[in-house]
Amino acid sequence: MHFRSIRFKLTLWYVLLLGILLFSFSSFLYFTLSKSLYRDVDNKLSSLAKLIASESVSPLSKFGFGNIDQALETSMNLKPIGKFIQVFDESGKIGGKSDNLKNLQLPISLNALKNASKGLVTFETNRSFENTPLRIITHPVLENNHVTKIIQIASSLEEVEEALNTLFIILVIAVPLALMVASLGGQFLAHKALKPVDHITQTARMITSQNLNQRILPPKVQDEISRLTETFNEMISRLDQSFRQIKQFSSDASHELKTPLTILKGEIEVMLRKDRTPQEYQQTLKSNLEEINRMSQIIEDLLILSKTDTGEIRLNKEDISLTGILNEVVAQMERLAKSQRLHLSTSNHHQDIRIFGDALRIRELFINLIENGIKYTEEGGSIHIALEKENELSVENQPDRIKREKGNFAKIVVSDTGIGIAKEDREKIFDRFFRVDKARSREQGGSGLGLSICKWIVEAHQGEIKVESDLGKGSSFIVILPLSSPHNIELKSAF
């Protein structure tokens, strides 16, 4: 297992956390048991010491200190098995001790003597007595606030320490063994948990630009891995769509540029076959210039769209008069409409409608929409531009960036009585190089990118554009733009 793999890291963290928990639990168990066992020994020693002390000061007691074992058995019918007892009298001499001490004497420390002189009980652990660990209580006997005797009782700690040592050995063996088993279990669980990730990785490696239609099979359980799979599939779908658009765009761009180049080449080859009159050369040069202008327009539009895709174009937004710009554009385009024998009209029910936007791009938006209407309208037809405020928007599929607030939007409708758009083509109308009538567009010198640029301009102004059309009855392009407000005037454009 690779040390940098997620599987190893998950197993390591699992074992580490389990190790901390086991170590904490083992330490708590060991010290709790140790404290409990020592407290139990101290309680037994203290009880026995108090019993002997109370019996020794009782006036009715027959308790003597010649032989402690006999005295306890005679006086209290008590046999303290495993306890070492000795009593010091007032002079500091041993007045009596248990048989198991024989010629030995329990050690008493200076600190215990000082505490006893003050009437305090002292517990001590001593390991110098016959190599046996002892727990010793030094208990003073008070009579009239005067220490008359000192009782010492000791108990062996061998059983306590043996129990603690046994527990320690068990924990030392059990905890590492449990961690080893946990590491194997952690590896197994990590393998099971990450197996779908391996499947995703292998499938993703097989997906290239040539088979972007392939998808990762999601697991049956709806969990994090399932959401990851869905996210990958959505990303692949977006990539597939982007690649298709790029291929289509490249193909369309090549075709659009190839056509004028072919015409240029053909016309020049024809002219070079024999000598021509100056008028013929002039006519050919004019035709060549038209094709060159058409290619220049295509390249310029492509450059604009390319910069919009990469975010290189920044809008110079300010508070502008939408009404004023629209009137200027209509006056400018009226000559073109008249030359095509078309009627261009406007309607504006408000004195001045203002928006927060880029005046140059808004002008370009209206020019493209009106030019589009002129191109696809037969002689004698009409183009009408309507501008009004929308009190309440109820646009279907309204994007989140457009908030429905009363009186907060301008609605521009550019309608024509042209050839119209088929229902199946309405969704493609804003695609790059898409044309409803390619022959008519070419005659008018269109690049097929105007509506794509219009869509970008509208969306860059947080607006929406859509088309309503019936084949043979004309089309209406509806543009919705947010009006100028003190809030959005202060904001800087993100473009």
Q: Residues 184-205: pLDDT tens digits?
A: 888 888 888 778 888 888 888 8
The verdict on 232 and 283 lying in the same domain is yes
Last residue of a domain, one of 306, 332, 364: 306
Minimum mean pLDDT range among 1-5, 203-207, 384-388: 1-5
Q: Which ranges of 101-217 would DSSP assign to H, the alpha helix?
A: 110-117, 158-206
The verdict on 66 and 124 lying in the same domain is yes
pLDDT at 115 over 60: yes
Last residue of a domain, one of 306, 341, 376: 306
- What is the separation of C-alpha 333 from the centre of its chain, rounded to a whole number of angstroms? 52
Instruction: Specify the pLDDT at position 147.
Output: 84
| Residue 388 near residue 361 (C-beta atoms within 8 A) | no
Total domains present in the chain: 3
Which bin fits 341, alpha (ψ -120 to 50), beta or left (φ > 0)? left
Spatial distance between the Cα atoms of 453 and 461, rounded to a whole number of angstroms: 13
Asked whether residue 218 is domain-assigned, the answer is no
The verdict on 247 and 298 lying in the same domain is yes
Residue 168: name the closest of 33, 271, 280 by CA.
33
Asked whether residue 113 is domain-assigned, the answer is yes
Instruction: Specify the pLDDT at position 436.
Output: 61
> Across 167-171, 189-193, 236-240, 483-487, which has the greatest mean pLDDT?
167-171
Asked whether residue 358 is domain-assigned, the answer is yes
- pTM for the model stands at 0.52
The verdict on 333 and 258 lying in the same domain is no
Asked whether residue 137 is domain-assigned, the answer is yes
Spatial distance between the Cα atoms of 334 and 125, rounded to a whole number of angstroms: 113
Residue 361 domain boundaries? 315-490
Mean of per-residue pLDDT scores for the chain: 81
Q: Residues 425-461: pLDDT tens digits?
A: 887 888 777 766 554 444 554 556 788 888 988 998 8
Asked whether residue 368 is domain-assigned, the answer is yes
Q: Write b or e for each residue in 275-292: b if 16 or more Cβ atoms lie within 10 A of its Cβ, otherwise e.
A: eeeeeeeeebeeebeebe
Contacts of residues 213-218 at CB distance under 8 Å and 24 or more positions apart, as own/partner, are 213/240
The verdict on 322 and 444 lying in the same domain is yes
Which residue would you say has higher pLDDT here, 146 or 137?
137
Instruction: Specify the pLDDT at position 32.
Output: 94
The verdict on 363 and 457 lying in the same domain is yes
Instruction: Specify the pLDDT at position 405.
Output: 46
Any idea what the CATH number is for the domain that residue 435 is in?
3.30.565.10
Instruction: Specify the pLDDT at position 414.
Output: 93
Instruction: Specify the pLDDT at position 495.
Output: 35
The verdict on 242 and 376 lying in the same domain is no
